[in-house]
Structure 1
Amino acid sequence: MRKPTLLAYPELSPTIDISWIVSTVLQSDTSSVRREVGASPVVPLWQLIILSGIILWLYRSILFHLVGQWWHDPNFSHGFFVPLFSALIIWQERQNLAQLPLRPSWSGLPISALAMCTLVVGQLGAELFLSRSSLLILLAGLIVLFCGWTYFRALLFPWAFLILMIPIPTIIFNQITFPLQLLASRVSGLVLPLLGVPVLREGNVINLPAMALEVAEACSGIRSLMSLVALAIIYGYLMEKRLWVRWVLAFASVPIAVVANSVRIIGTGLLVQYWDPEKAEGYFHASWGWIIFVISLVMLYALHNLMSMILEKAGAKE
């Protein structure tokens, strides 16, 4: 085995030479570098701290406003849990990651450069989605640069999951919300007459004998849809080993959210018609969201169990 090359580190100075950090990490033969379990990482800890500090300083304003949107916008309040779950995955896989070879690659530099270009374009164009997405691109570039493609492939899922913490652009959000409003209105307009409630639908407004129900943006189901997609991915990762079943659960969360939201509107219509119209605007209306979200989770769990039963029976017949 070739003896490791002893690297001479310059003295600390007030300025940070990033090019020296990168060249130091990649100085040895990357095709033969391998870290043993419990050994020190290739990159000195103090350099990682400095690099992390630079990234936090560079994205301080972007991260501040991102967290603020999670806090104030109910449509994206699930964003708090996304980085926590990614960190949990990395922590659970820490022993497997310790066994992976460290093969730093210069190909991480153009990826990092792309991230900086994306950041600049996003800042100049006041496009929040580009500015925020550039952070994920930068993380990918740094992982490849310092650890190699093997590490990045191992971290691909927790890295990709971070995309869900970034609110989608407003123009796309509106393109999704309005069709969901119309879909929920149409489904409710078809089901309510079957339950004995006369309905006259005008777009996203459902006219009942007692009052008119407007399926507004908040009632479109987009809020539960965004959260349910994230939870479906988490549930699939924790409860299912088969990759294709995880994909099915993730995609199934979309129709489940639509059906659950339609149930909410139908229930509100029945409440208005057969009980008290004022109840539809008070506590019951506010609590419907949580109730329907729980129903969505139950439906997701039932779908998973049904798929498992079918697969087990199919395997038993073979």
Structure 2
Amino acid sequence: MTFCESLQQNRTWLLFSLLLVAVLYRGVVPDMVRQWYEDPNYSHGFVVPLLASFFLYERRAELAEAQVASWWPGFLVVILGVGQLLLGWLATEYFTMRSSLVVILAGLTLFFFGRRLFRLMLLPLAYLVFMVPLPYIIYDTVAFPLKLFVTKASIGFLKLCGVVVLREGNVIQLPSTTLEVADACSGIRSLISLIALAVAYSFFIRLTTARRVVLVLAAIPIAVAANALRVIGTGFLAQYWGARAAEGFFHEFAGLAVFAVAMVLMVSLGTFLSRGSGRSL
């Protein structure tokens, strides 16, 4: 039985299952979308489902012709996802609740269509994990050492350029003003978005698995280096043009410019890695 035939045959149960999922997540998903809108760290969440849909669209021919068969252990995966949702709700742990949606969708795919089709659906399903905001305990664990590293690197460069500067933790003291390297300047914000985009980009340009890993891992130093440039630029402006020059419009513009620079670096690296790579999606 092909995928299209299976959809036709099981459309009633599929619609019923999706309706149950919608009921279960009627409060979870809207709350997650609200965080995408309110928290700049996760604004990329709006793009993730669109990219996952594009991955499905790219494989539409393979999906339509794939031979499928129901695989009953997939129902156990669905039960596992529901249990994860329940545990997250009892513990008020949003990441557990939100990520359980991906588990349930994976389980439904396995149950209705089997393992062969699941392999074709694996990338779109797994990519949905990027839309789930990280727990704050993990976010803070990563953000704090990044802040210190970016601060140290920026201080070292400023001193090499003759700027009189001192550091106290993540605070940079200049003769005319004091700057604090906040979470937004640590690179964590652009790091999360850049990794999600690097994964998508690595499949768009059809890299081999090894080169995809290189490109995705490269997003980490690219994001950190770009944000260090932001702090360095802010330090130069504050030193030679005063604190006001480093605030307001420049501060907001610098955030966009930093991400643009990181994207250019990632695209350049991807172009270099794609030479001689003919692997398809």
Question: Is TM more than 0.5 here?
Answer: yes
Flag the 1:304–1:41 CA change in 2: closer, same or farther, 3 A. closer
Aligned mate of 1:222, from 170, 188, 193: 188
User: Is 1:287 aligned to 2:253, yes or no?
Assistant: yes
User: Is 1:50 aligned to 2:16, yes or no?
Assistant: yes
Aligned to 1:261: 227
Instruction: Give 1 or 2 for the bigger CA radius of gyration.
Output: 1
Larger mean CA deviation between 45-54 and 179-188 belongs to: 45-54
Q: CA deviation at 1:234?
A: 1.4
Aligned mate of 1:301, from 267, 274, 278: 267
**Residue aligned with 1:101, SS:** coil
Q: Is the 8 A contact 2:207 2:274 kept in 1?
A: no
Aligned mate of 1:202, from 168, 171, 178: 168
1:171-186 matched pairs, under 5 angstroms: 171-186=137-152
**Residue aligned with 1:201, SS:** strand
Q: Is the 8 A contact 1:43 1:146 kept in 2?
A: no
Q: Which residue identity lines up with residue 20 of structure 2 in the other structure? A: I
Aligned mate of 2:74, from 103, 108, 112: 108
Q: Which residue identity lines up with residue 35 of structure 1 in the other structure? A: T
Query: How many Å separate the matches in 2 of 1:40 and 1:148?
Result: 11
**Residue aligned with 1:241, SS:** coil
Aligned to 1:29: none
Flag the 1:113–1:80 CA change in 2: closer, same or farther, 3 A. same
Q: Which has the higher helix share?
A: 2
Q: Is the 8 A contact 1:206 1:213 kept in 2?
A: yes
**Residue aligned with 1:246, SS:** helix
Q: CA deviation at 1:39?
A: 4.1
Q: CA deviation at 1:45?
A: 2.4
**Residue aligned with 1:56, SS:** helix
Query: How many Å separate the matches in 1 of 2:2 and 2:168?
Result: 66
Aligned mate of 1:275, from 241, 248, 261: 241
Could you list the runs of 5+ residues in structure 2 that have no partner in the other structure?
none
User: Is 1:91 aligned to 2:81, yes or no?
Assistant: no
Q: Which residue identity lines up with residue 279 of structure 1 in the other structure? A: A
Return structure 1 stretches of 4+ with deviation > 6 angstroms. none
Aligned to 1:152: 118
Q: CA deviation at 1:116?
A: 1.1
User: Is 1:119 aligned to 2:85, yes or no?
Assistant: yes
Q: Is the 8 A contact 1:132 1:166 kept in 2?
A: yes
Q: Is the 8 A contact 2:206 2:274 kept in 1?
A: no
Q: CA deviation at 1:42?
A: 5.3
Q: CA deviation at 1:242?
A: 1.5
Query: How many Å separate the matches in 2 of 1:223 and 1:43?
Result: 45
Q: Which residue identity lines up with residue 222 of structure 1 in the other structure? A: I
Could you list the runs of 5+ residues in structure 1 that have no partner in the other structure?
1-33, 313-318
Q: Which residue identity lines up with residue 131 of structure 1 in the other structure? A: M
Q: CA deviation at 1:43?
A: 3.6
Aligned to 2:44: 78
**Residue aligned with 2:2, SS:** coil
- Equivalent residue pairs, number: 277
TM-score (normalizing by structure 1): 0.84
Larger mean CA deviation between 106-115 and 235-244 belongs to: 235-244
Q: CA deviation at 1:40?
A: 5.9
Aligned to 1:28: none
Cα RMSD of the aligned pairs, angstroms, is 1.6
Q: Which residue identity lines up with residue 67 of structure 1 in the other structure? A: V
